[in-house]
Structure 1
Amino acid sequence: MPATTSVTLNTGAIMPTVGLGTWKSAPGEVEHAVEFALKNGYTHIDTAAAYQNEPEVGQGLKASGVPRESVFLTTKLNNPDQRHVPQALEASLSKLGTPYIDLWLMHWPAPMTKDGKADKAYDWLDTWKSMEDVYLAHPEKVKAIGVSNFSVEFLERLLKVAKVVPAVNQIELHPSCPQDDVVEYCQKKGIILTAYSPLGSDNSPLLKNPVVNKIADKYSVPPANILISLHANKPGHTVLPKSVTNARILNNAKIVDLTEEDIAELHKINETHHFRACHPAWTGWGGLGFPDCK
Structure 2
Amino acid sequence: MITKMLNNGVEMPQLGFGVYQIPENETANAVYQAIKIGYRLIDTAIAYGNEEQTGLGIKRAIDEGVTNREELFVTTKLFIQHMGEENSQKAINDSLEKLGLEYLDLFLIHQPYGDIYGAWKALTSAQKSGKIRAVGVSNFDAAKLIEFVNMNGIAKPQVNQIEVNPWHQREIDLSYHVKNDVQLEAWAPFAEGRHDLFTNSVLMEIGDKYNKSVGQVVLRWLMQRGIVALAKSVRPERMAENIAIFDFELTPEDVDEIAKLNRDESAFFDHHNPAMVESFMERL
Task: Give the secondary-structure state (helix, strand or coil) at the position aligned to 2:191.
Answer: coil
Task: Give the secondary-structure state (helix, strand or coil) at the position aligned to 2:216.
Answer: helix
- Residues 121-140 of structure 1: pairs in structure 2 closer than 5 A: 123-136=115-128, 138=129, 140=130
Whole-angstrom CA distance in 2 between matches of 1:105 and 1:246: 27
Q: From 4, 7, 13, give the equivalent of 2:4.
A: 7
Aligned-pair CA distance for 1:133: 2.6
Aligned-pair CA distance for 1:275: 4.4
Aligned to 2:202: 211
Q: Deviations over 1:102-160 (max 9, x none)?
A: 0000000113xxxxxxxxxxx32232233223323x1x210010000001221122112
1:199 maps to a residue whose letter is: F
Task: Give the secondary-structure state (helix, strand or coil) at the position aligned to 1:108.
Answer: coil
Q: Would you say 1:283 and 2:276 are equivalent positions?
A: yes
Aligned to 1:87: 90
Q: Would you say 1:109 and 2:101 are equivalent positions?
A: no
Q: Deviations over 1:48-82 (max 9, x none)?
A: 01000100100000111221111011110111011
1:284 maps to a residue whose letter is: V
Unaligned runs of 5+ in 2: none
Aligned to 1:69: 70
Task: Give the secondary-structure state (helix, strand or coil) at the position aligned to 1:174.
Answer: coil
Q: Would you say 1:141 and 2:134 are equivalent positions?
A: no
1:81 maps to a residue whose letter is: H
Whole-angstrom CA distance in 2 between matches of 1:267 and 1:61: 37
Q: Would you say 1:269 and 2:261 are equivalent positions?
A: yes
Q: Flag the 1:287–1:63 CA change in 2: closer, same or farther, 3 A.
A: closer
Q: Check the 8 A contact 1:213/1:223 in 2, yes or no.
A: yes
Unaligned runs of 5+ in 1: 112-122, 289-294
Whole-angstrom CA distance in 1 between matches of 2:125 and 2:276: 27
Whole-angstrom CA distance in 1 between matches of 2:219 and 2:12: 16
Task: Give the secondary-structure state (helix, strand or coil) at the position aligned to 2:4.
Answer: strand
Aligned to 1:24: 21
Q: Check the 8 A contact 1:54/1:95 in 2, yes or no.
A: yes
Aligned-pair CA distance for 1:202: 4.1
Q: Would you say 1:252 and 2:249 are equivalent positions?
A: no
Aligned to 1:118: none
Aligned-pair CA distance for 1:267: 1.1
1:224 maps to a residue whose letter is: G
Aligned to 2:50: 53
Q: Flag the 1:247–1:193 CA change in 2: closer, same or farther, 3 A.
A: same
Q: Flag the 1:43–1:287 CA change in 2: closer, same or farther, 3 A.
A: closer
Aligned-pair CA distance for 1:278: 3.1
Structure with a larger share of its residues in helix: 2
Q: Would you say 1:36 and 2:28 are equivalent positions?
A: no
2:131 maps to a residue whose letter is: K
Q: Check the 8 A contact 2:158/2:182 in 1, yes or no.
A: yes
Q: Which has the higher contact order (CA 8 A, sep 6+)?
A: 1
TM-score by length of 1: 0.86
Q: Flag the 1:156–1:286 CA change in 2: closer, same or farther, 3 A.
A: farther
2:103 maps to a residue whose letter is: Y
Whole-angstrom CA distance in 2 between matches of 1:32 and 1:63: 9
Task: Give the secondary-structure state (helix, strand or coil) at the position aligned to 2:81.
Answer: helix
Task: Give the secondary-structure state (helix, strand or coil) at the position aligned to 2:12.
Answer: strand
Whole-angstrom CA distance in 1 between matches of 2:200 and 2:61: 36
Aligned to 1:114: none
- Residues 180-219 of structure 1: pairs in structure 2 closer than 5 A: 180-202=171-193, 205-219=196-210
Q: Check the 8 A contact 1:5/1:232 in 2, yes or no.
A: no
Q: Check the 8 A contact 1:216/1:222 in 2, yes or no.
A: yes
Q: Check the 8 A contact 1:174/1:197 in 2, yes or no.
A: yes
Aligned to 1:164: 155
Whole-angstrom CA distance in 1 between matches of 2:132 and 2:100: 14
Q: Check the 8 A contact 1:47/1:57 in 2, yes or no.
A: yes
